[in-house]
């Protein structure tokens, strides 16, 4: 029985770690998408100002960087950020699939634990759980 409970604890910790990784990667993807969109908005603003002011356009295109270099850098940054976001999203999807598999294994391990338990102990645990659930339901009804 201790081996099964150890396996259950290991699977539970793996699931919790995986869930934390999924949350952190999801947050990182959201931040990266936000920065990508902000970059596009800044580019559009610069393009609009350049369209309205020929001196600003001259300064941007000739003084700061030659056009062929600046266009290459901007395009490369946008394409690279897009592919990086897609790569991270695929990793998140893989992690979620792995978490679902772990949940199935957790259910199997839980069933094994219940099957290996002493029947009297199992009945006692069920009674305690019923009383706790009944108390929670009554508390919810009163609120």
- Angle, CA of 26, 28 and 32, to the nearest 5°: 120
Give the three-class secondary structure for 76.
helix
Per residue in 93-119, pLDDT (tens digit) is: 999 999 999 888 888 888 877 777 777
Query: How many residues in the chain?
Result: 143
- Flag whether pLDDT at 121 surpasses 70: yes
Q: Is 110 exposed, middle or buried (0-12, 13-18, 19+ CB in 10 A)?
A: middle
HSE value, Cβ hemisphere, 13 Å, CA-based, for 98: 16
Q: Which domains does the chain have, with CATH numbers?
A: 2-117 (1.10.287)
- Closest by CA position to 29, among listed 96, 97, 92, 73: 92
Alpha carbon dihedral 40, 42, 48, 49, in 10-degree steps, equals -160
37-82 pLDDT, tens per residue? Answer: 998 998 888 888 888 888 887 777 777 777 667 778 888 988 999 9
Q: How large a percentage of the chain has pLDDT more than 90?
A: 29
pLDDT for position 41? 93
Greater confidence (106 vs 5) lies with 106
Rounded to the nearest 10 degrees, the angle between the axes of helix 67-116 and helix 2-52 is 160
Write down the pLDDT at residue 67.
Answer: 66
* Residue 25 or residue 71, greater confidence: 25
pLDDT band at 2 (very low <50, low <70, confident <90, very high): low
Structural contact between residues 122 and 49, judged by C-beta atoms closer than 8 angstroms: no
Element (H, E) at 64: none
Confidence band for 6, pLDDT divided at 50, 70 and 90: confident
pLDDT at 87 over 80: yes
Place of tokens 């294994």: 105
């Amino acid at each position: 029985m201790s081996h099964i409970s150890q396996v259950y604890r290991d699977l539970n910790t793996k699931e919790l770690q995986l869930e934390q990784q999924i949350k952190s990667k999801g947050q990182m993807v959201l931040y990266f998408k936000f920065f990508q969109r902000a970059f596009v908005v800044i580019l559009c603003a610069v393009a609009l100002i350049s369209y309205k002011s020929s001196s600003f356009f001259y300064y941007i295109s000739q003084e700061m960087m030659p056009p062929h270099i600046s266009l290459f850098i901007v395009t490369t940054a946008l394409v690279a950020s897009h592919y990086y976001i897609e790569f991270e999203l695929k990793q998140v999807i893989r992690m979620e699939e792995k978490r679902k598999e772990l949940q199935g294994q957790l259910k199997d391990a839980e069933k094994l634990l219940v099957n290996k338990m002493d029947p009297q102990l199992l009945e006692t645990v069920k009674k305690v759980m019923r009383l706790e659930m009944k108390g929670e339901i009554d508390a919810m009804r009163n609120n």
